[in-house]
């Protein structure tokens, strides 16, 4: 988020990242600062909130716009409308004063919502060096630009987008019975009824999660392979995906 648009003011840019890799992200950015007079530091005095509407997405826009003066940043979530709004406040701010009548949930409520919608986030859902941008649906979430660069893997990503077919994608999955997260091995295999590999579980727990699945298999009966057992699961295509996509 760019906080100042005026040319007279020094630009302040807020970068959101997975808190578990804050130190490595900070170190990586400083590596490329070279001799520029740029200060890179964590904003420990700020709090980040996800504002998820109870009604249809967009219905809360008018009421939230009245709160803008009490916030550091208030903006629609850039990924997709179903994720509501991103709100950044001072640490000491009272959210109920900013959004009267709201309900403050916990982090698990937030994860359940995004897993239900098939929204990946952070290094567990998108492991560095493993997750491919197009398979992770980043092109659907304003996460890839095909008009500017450069970044590692740009040529392959652009070529696949324009000419290739994406055979696997991250999809929301639901188990037939709740599963504790600790009972699911990392990268657990997902099988078809005949025992053929259909993909791998990525993250989640209880009865919801996301998995990298072959699109050709998602309408078949599927099961998650865990130690000593197999658990049935179903995969769905999220409603927020572009309707015209053929890939």
**Structure confidence by residue, pLDDT tens digits, 69-125:** 678 888 899 999 999 999 999 998 888 888 877 889 999 999 999 999 999 999 999
Evaluate whether 160 touches 207 at the Cβ level (below 8 Å).
no
Handedness of CA 13, 112, 242, 132 (dihedral sign): positive
Res 169: pLDDT = 97
Q: Any idea what the Cα angle at residue 47 is, between residues 55 and 107, rounded to 5°?
A: 55
Going by the DSSP 8-state scheme, the letter that residue 99 receives in this structure is S
User: Over pLDDT 90: what percentage of the chain?
Assistant: 56
CA–CA separation, 78 and 116 (whole Å): 18
Going by the DSSP 8-state scheme, the letter that residue 16 receives in this structure is -
* CATH 2.40.30.160 segments of the chain: 133-235
What residues pair up with 76 in beta bridges, in sequence order? Answer: 85
Interacting residues of 240 by C-beta distance below 8 A, sequence separation 6+? 80, 81, 82, 117, 140
47 pLDDT tier (thresholds 50, 70, 90): very high
CA–CA separation, 152 and 13 (whole Å): 23
Residue with tokens 């997750």: 131
Question: Mean pLDDT across the stretch 52-61?
Answer: 61
Predicted TM-score (pTM) of this structure: 0.85
The architecture of the domain spanning 133-235 is: Beta Barrel (2.40)
5 pLDDT tier (thresholds 50, 70, 90): low
Highest-scoring range by mean pLDDT, 36-45, 66-75, 206-215? 206-215
User: Over pLDDT 70: what percentage of the chain?
Assistant: 88
246 pLDDT tier (thresholds 50, 70, 90): very low
């Amino acid at each position: 988020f760019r906080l100042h648009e005026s040319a007279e003011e020094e630009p302040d840019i807020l970068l959101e990242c997975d808190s578990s890799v804050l130190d490595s992200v900070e170190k990586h950015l400083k590596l490329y600062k070279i001799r520029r007079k740029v200060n890179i530091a964590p904003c420990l005095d700020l709090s980040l909130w996800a504002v998820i509407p109870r009604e249809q997405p967009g219905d809360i826009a008018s009421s939230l716009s009245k709160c803008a003066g009490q916030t550091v940043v208030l903006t629609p979530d850039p990924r997709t409308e179903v994720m509501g709004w991103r709100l950044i406040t001072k640490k000491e701010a009272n959210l109920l004063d900013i959004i009267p009548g709201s309900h403050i949930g916990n982090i698990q409520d937030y994860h359940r919502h995004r897993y239900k919608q098939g929204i990946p986030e952070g290094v567990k859902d998108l492991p560095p060096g493993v997750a491919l941008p197009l398979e992770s649906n980043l092109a659907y979430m304003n996460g890839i630009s095909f008009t500017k660069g450069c970044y590692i893997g740009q040529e392959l990503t652009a070529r696949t987008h324009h000419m290739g077919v994406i055979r696997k994608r991250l999809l929301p999955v639901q188990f037939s019975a709740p599963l504790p997260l600790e009972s699911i091995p990392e990268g657990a295999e997902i099988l078809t009824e005949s025992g053929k590999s259909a993909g791998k579980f990525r993250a989640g727990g209880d009865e919801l999660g996301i998995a990298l699945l072959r699109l050709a298999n998602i309408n078949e009966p599927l099961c998650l392979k865990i130690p000593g057992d197999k658990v049935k699961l179903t995969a769905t295509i999220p409603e927020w995906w572009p309707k015209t996509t053929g890939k």
